[in-house]
Structures are given as C-alpha cells and as structure tokens.
Amino acid sequence: MPSDLKATGPDSSCNNRLEGLRGQASGATANFPAPPFALPFPERTVVNIGVLLALAAYAVYAWGDGIIKSFSGELSVFEIGFFNILFGSLFLLFLKPKGEQWNGFWRTMRRPWAVHARAFFGVAAGMLSVYAFTTIPMAEVYAVFFLSPILVTLLSIIILKEQVGPWRWMAVVMGFFGVLLVVRPGFRELELGHLAALIVALLAASTIILMRSLQGERQTTVLGMLVVYTLVFNGIAMLATSSFNSPDWKTWVLLILSGLCTAGGHRLLLLATRQAPANLVAPTHYSQIIWAVIIGASFFDEVPDWLSITGAAVVIASGLLTIIREQIRLGAARFLRNRI
C-alpha cells in the first residue's frame, strides 16, 4: 500500500525520552557537551531494534503490494481496494494502540475537517496505488512514490511559507532528475500508471503536511474514518461499475494475506517509531525498492534496466539528502541549546 496509508507519526514520548537523555548527558559534562547525536549504549540498542522493525514493516508492505499486483487482470481496482482494507481492518481491530478504543471512534474528533481530509486523501491514494501496481512495474511505482519527501519540500514552501536552503533545493532537482531517468518521457510510452503513482506521491506529501493539524488526534479516530471512507467508496464504485468478480478460494487467501500485510506493516511501523526517532525510521522506507526488484523479477518478469536502477538510486539519494540535512540542522540546534 502507498506511503500515506502506511505512515504513522513518531511517538512523542520516545522523542521526549531521547531529548531528556541527551540533556542529561550534556549537563553531566558542562565543559564538553555531548555531540547532538550521541546516545547512551542502551538507548542505541533500542534505536537499532526500532530500525530493524521499520525494515521489517516495509518488507511486509512490499510483499503486500506484490500480492496486489498479482490481481492484475483478474479483479477490478475497486474490488481489490475494498477487500484489502476490509481484511486489513479486521486484523487492525486486534492491534489498536494501548489506551485507545475503537468504540465510538467517530465521536472523538478534535479537528473534524482534518480527519475527513486525511480520509479522503487516503481513499484516493489507495485507489490510485492499486491501479499503479497493477499496470506498471513495481520498481517504477516505488521510484515515483519516493518523490514524496521532495514534494513535501515544495508544499512546505507554497503552503507553510517555509524557507528552503540550497541543500534541499538540490535534493528537489535530484529527485525529479531521478524520476526522469526511470520513466524517460519522450523515449518510451508513458502509461496512466505512472501518472497515478505521481498523484499518490503528491497525496502522500499533502497528508504529511496535513498530519501537523492532526497532532493529538486519536489513532483509532484517524484510522477508523479512513477505513469507513475506503469501504464505502470502493463498495459503491464496485457495485456502480458492476466490476465485482467472485474470487476463487486461492484469490480469497491472497486477499486475506494482502490485508494481513497492510495491518502487520502498520503495526510494525508503529512499534518502530516507539523504539527509534523518526529521522532514523524514515530512510528505511527506501528498502522497498530492493524488495520491488526481487519480487518483480521473481514473479512478474520485471527486470529493471540500468537506467531505471540509476534513476531509482538518484531519487533515493535525494530523499536521504533531505532527511540527513534536516537531521544535521536539528542536531546543531540541539547542540547550541545544550551549550546555552
């Protein structure tokens, strides 16, 4: 599933705990404050576990996307989306965050407009991502998806009026150049799947901006509304287009597995963000391109050429540049704060 359906915000308690430990370390050595990224050994162990959980989460997501791709030509986009979220939500019922309840999730919205907008973006991204995976190679889908951090930078300029330095502008240029290497417009025919993947990246970036308005909102509320929107939209669309095809037992098994991957990936990512800071979890989503190449080559005869691999590497490098640059900026700010 696309990143906007997968991402879960970092656990604030984990970040506060890390900040507290860093503050204590710097206070204990007044003349020689701790480096901004220094962590005590037990804390580094916890962070390593968080990174491993994140890698496992994105591996599970990638295999779920591979299952979705296998439905190409057999099930409609609406039917795939409907049953994927249906079975995924059934598993999520048993994976709710501690201290939250599903009962009455629709009555606890603090910012209804943001919750509904998040659900709308999720429905659109889910439908378009299914279309992209079932029409173009997996590696190309992920390469375009990876534009999301770059689009966040552009949206931050337009919507939030943030100042962007030369490093982030370099990352933006690199990201778009990398995608051009992957899709090569003018040198080969572009498909609607490429456009769908690009819109998904834009919706994911918009969701990241929107999530700033959802801080403090219960996860069961956000997820519950997303599930309701997706089931209603895909159910109506499936009936309106008469696109329901009764699956055989093998297809039912695969649909259940795709839902399990969606729920399992979500849970693993949630656990990861509780063990490690977001700036270490975020880069792990690029590991999906490795799984895309393995799954695509093994099951769908999709072997990317060297230009596609180079383009994907450039896109990944641009995303990592954005993340690392932001980490250095925040780390320097913490270092100066500790000195003061």
pLDDT in tens, 200-255: 999 998 988 887 777 777 777 888 888 999 999 999 999 999 888 999 999 999 99
Task: Work out the pLDDT band at 43, boundaries 50, 70, 90.
Answer: low
Give the pLDDT confidence score for residue 233 in this predicted structure: 96
Question: What dihedral angle (degrees, nearest 10) is formed by the CA atoms of 143, 146, 151, 156?
Answer: -170
Give the pLDDT confidence score for residue 97 in this predicted structure: 63
Span 318-330, pLDDT tens digits:
878 777 766 665 5
**Cβ(22)–Cβ(336) below 8 Å:** no
State both tokens at 235. Answer: 């159910």
Span 2-39, pLDDT tens digits:
444 454 443 333 333 333 333 333 333 333 334 444 44
**Cβ(209)–Cβ(156) below 8 Å:** yes
Q: Rounded to two decimals, what is the model's pTM?
A: 0.78
Give the pLDDT confidence score for residue 33 in this predicted structure: 39
Give the pLDDT confidence score for residue 111 in this predicted structure: 79
Output the DSSP codes for 260-321: HHHHHHHHHHHHHHHHS-HHHHGGGGGGHHHHHHHHHHHHS-----HHHHHHHHHHHHHHHH
Query: Which of 206, 211, 12 has the alpha carbon at shortest distance from 111?
Result: 211
Give the pLDDT confidence score for residue 58 in this predicted structure: 93
Task: Work out the pLDDT band at 157, boundaries 50, 70, 90.
Answer: confident
